[in-house]
């Protein structure tokens, strides 16, 4: 079941984010200083602020949060994580489809995000592409949405 994220979900969301970042070996090569920088940005205070000013949803599977997605009013995907032990079960797809539906009803016609190497194939599968011209180091992806 997908529902709007709540403030009381933050500890669970933080756990998912932290575990996911630590499992993205292709992106961080277990470089602890890089990982710590990312984890410090994902604090309870920062996440609380982000949730107050952006749209976010969680996928709840049998009373446990399996994943989270967050987007701002400009169509920038700020967070999209699924707990490592819950991946490859369709939770990420369901959250992304919910995002597409919501953005279309809000007349957001383009989504963008900074992908990781690990997540790149997932986003490409759902129509995200690198804009032209592309900075070879950046994994900026965009997707055009069809208006209603």
Low-confidence ranges of the chain (pLDDT < 50): none
Tell me the pLDDT tens digit for each residue of 53-74: 999 999 999 889 999 999 999 9
Q: What CATH number is associated with residue 80?
A: 3.40.630.30
Predicted confidence at residue 139, as pLDDT, reads 86
**Full domain range(s) for residue 99:** 2-144
Predicted confidence at residue 37, as pLDDT, reads 64
In order, the DSSP letters of the chain are: -EEE--GGGHHHHHHHHHHHHHH-HHHHTT-HHHHHHHHHHS-HHHHHHHHHHSEEEEEEETTEEEEEEEE-TTSBEEEEEE-GGGTTSSHHHHHHHHHHHHHHHTT--EEEEE--TTTHHHHHHTT-BPPSS--TT--EEEEE----
Predicted confidence at residue 30, as pLDDT, reads 57
Predicted confidence at residue 83, as pLDDT, reads 95
To the question of pTM greater than 0.75 for the whole model, the response is yes
Pairwise CA distance, residues 61 & 86, whole Å? 9
Domain count, the chain: 1
């Amino acid at each position: 079941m997908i529902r709007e994220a709540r403030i009381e979900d933050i500890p669970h969301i933080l756990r998912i984010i932290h575990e996911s970042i630590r499992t993205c070996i292709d992106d961080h090569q277990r470089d602890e200083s890089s990982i710590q920088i990312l984890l410090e940005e994902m604090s309870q205070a920062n996440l609380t602020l982000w949730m107050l000013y952006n749209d976010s949803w969680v996928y709840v599977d049998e009373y446990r949060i399996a994943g989270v997605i967050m987007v701002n009013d400009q169509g920038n995907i700020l967070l999209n994580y699924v707990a490592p032990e819950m991946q490859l079960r369709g939770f990420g797809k369901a959250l992304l489809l919910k995002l597409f539906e919501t953005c279309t009803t809000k007349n957001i016609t383009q989504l963008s995000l900074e992908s990781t190497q690990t997540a790149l194939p997932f986003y490409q599968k759902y129509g995200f592409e690198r804009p032209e011209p592309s900075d070879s180091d950046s994994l900026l992806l965009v997707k055009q949405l069809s208006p209603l």
